[in-house]
Amino acid sequence: MTSVSSYLIKSVRILGGEPTDLLLKDGVVAEIGTGLSADGAEVVDADGLIALPGLVDLHTHLREPGREDAETVETGTRAAAMGGFTAVHAMANTTPVADTAGVVEQVWRLGREAGYCDVYPVGAVTVGLKGEQLAELGAMADSAARVRVFSDDGHCVSDPLLMRRALEYVKAFDGVVAQHAQDPRLTEGAQMNESELSGRLGLAGWPAVAEEAIIARDCLLTAHVGSRLHVCHVSTAGSVEIVRDAKRKGWNVTAEACPHHLLLTDELAATYDPIYKVNPPLRSAGDVEALRAGLADGTIDIVATDHAPHPHEDKDCEWAAAAFGMLGLETALSIVQHTMVDTGLLDWAGVADRLSYAPARIGRVADHGQPIEVGAPANIALYDPAATRTIEASASASLSRNTPYAGMDLPGRIEATFLRGRPTVLDGKLV
């Protein structure tokens, strides 16, 4: 890391507004205005760039401990920084599972040591993600990692009584249960979106109702016990409708959509290339449309990446044998620009809300997701929306290469990321 302690960012457009200068000093935004100067500050020419609050991901798989062949906290947070993120929530499905204070503190400490972005561990809801018995949620909440988000992601907390208890229990420390909504019986052996195409391809179907039924149930449970529910990776039009209805009733439900569900459709499964295999699966064009509309009107609160690194051999095989999941951190903002901004559905203030303010609020993260104002923590991403880049898997900062966007031209590039006033990315490169 560099020893310079202050940065003067010249002529940047905050949330796409009028050009201004930004002085970052001692970890905070020290000054905002035109024609700023500062002795000893390193000057960053940001002509044409947009300043966004550092992005916050509520759904990242960092794989450490246990699968360091796929990703480590260090490589995953490097990828995060390259994507403009200053905070990520690390999912609990590691080996061992992050279901104790010890494991979440380990992940939290690894994040601090890596230094590329802040790592907020997600705690497992149930011991070993087995869905049988609550993990020590209170111990994780009280640990140095201060866990507020609990999820068995990868598995659904399908037992309704256990889900009810989890929702009730986390109220004691203002936690939230982030549900991976997938009825296990309705998705036994499921490989792709259930549709005419799954029938033709002979791949076992993952029906939309398996997601929607769980979301509907959990919304009702949340309302009944007065708790807070977050729905992970909403993927169907029906799910968007259910969440919209729950919000209309005033229930405390939030939801996320993943970049790949905003862009890609199940037609890609016809290649039988498992680079497109993900859970929940890619859905229809109509579902993509509904997710975009839901994200635009706020029904879907946030974009979360579900960044899921896998080693090459887990994708270089037949579809059924392959692992579920795809990379997401380095391409998320470009896909949001492509699907939401360039289409006129969202402005840059909206992007800041969906990728920074709202996820920080849901995760109860104090030092991230704040507007770029004097005195705010200097967590900032500088983004060039006019750039075009061709995605290359081999260029990823992640340890894994399983990006479904390889070869695609996507708009926008992160030029710099600042974490508490220090650059983690500068000139488009890791510092």
Partner 1 sequence: MKRHLLSAADLTRDDAELVLETAAELRSLADRPIKKLPALRGRTVVNLFFEDSTRTRISFEAAAKRLSADVINFAAKGSSVSKGESLKDTALTLEAMGADAVVIRHGASGAPHRLAHSGWVRSSVVNAGDGTHEHPTQALLDAFTLWRHLGEERRGGLEGRRVAIVGDVLHSRVARSNALLLKTLGAEVTLVGPPTLLPVGIEGWDVETSYDLDAVLPKVDAVMMLRVQRERMQGGFFPTPREYSRRYGLDGRRMATLQDHTIVMHPGPMVRGMEITADVADSDRSVIVEQVTNGVAVRMAVLYLLLGGSESESPE
Residues found near partner 1 in the complex (CB under 8 A): 191, 194-205, 207, 271-273, 313, 316-321
Residue 105 or 316: which CB sits closer to partner 1? 316
Whether the CA torsion 290, 293, 295, 300 is positive or negative: it is negative
Minimum CB distance to partner 1 smaller for 20 or for 402: 402
Nearer to partner 1, 311 or 428 (CB): 311
Active site residue 306: yes
Q: Which helix (DSSP H) or strand (DSSP E) does residue 158 occupy? A: none
In angstroms, the CA 158 to CA 52 distance is 38
Count of CB atoms situated within 10 Å of the CB of 7: 24
Q: Which of 152, 306, 314, 384 is catalytic?
A: 306
Length of the chain, please? 431
Q: For partner 1, which is the closer residue by CB, 36 or 209?
A: 209
Angle at alpha carbon of residue 109, lines to 105 and 110, rounded to 5°: 120
Nearer to partner 1 by Cβ, of 198 and 370: the residue is 198
Cβ proximity of 67 and 94 under 8 Å: yes
Smallest separation, CB 9 to partner 1 (Å) = 46
Q: Smallest distance, Å, CB 279 to partner 1? A: 17
Q: Cα angle at 217 between 212 and 222, to 5 degrees? A: 125
Cα-based angle 300, 302, 304 (whole degrees, multiple of 5): 120
254 vs 284, which CB is nearer to partner 1?
A: 284
CB of 184 to partner 1, least distance (A): 15
Tell me if 99 sits within 8 A of 92, measured CB to CB.
yes
Shortest reach from residue 216's CB to partner 1, in Å: 20
Tell which residue, 50, 22, 25, has the closest CA to residue 35: 22
Q: Closer to partner 1 at the Cβ: 64 or 314?
A: 314
Instruction: Determine the Cα–Cα distance for residues 237 and 240; give it in Å rounded to an integer.
Output: 5
> At its nearest, how many Å lie between partner 1 and the CB of residue 315?
11
Looking at 38-174, list the stretches that DSSP marks H as alpha helix, in order from N- to C-terminal side. Answer: 73-82, 101-114, 137-142, 160-169
Say how far apart CA 425 and CA 431 lie, in whole Å: 5
Distances (CA, A) of 49 to 12, 54, 384: 6, 14, 5
Distance between the two ends of the chain, CA-based, in angstroms?
6
CB atoms within 10 A of CB 367: 16
Kindly state the smallest distance separating residue 402's Cβ from partner 1, in Å. 15
In the complex, the smallest distance separating the C-beta of residue 179 from partner 1, rounded to whole angstroms, is: 25
Which active-site residues does the annotation give? 306
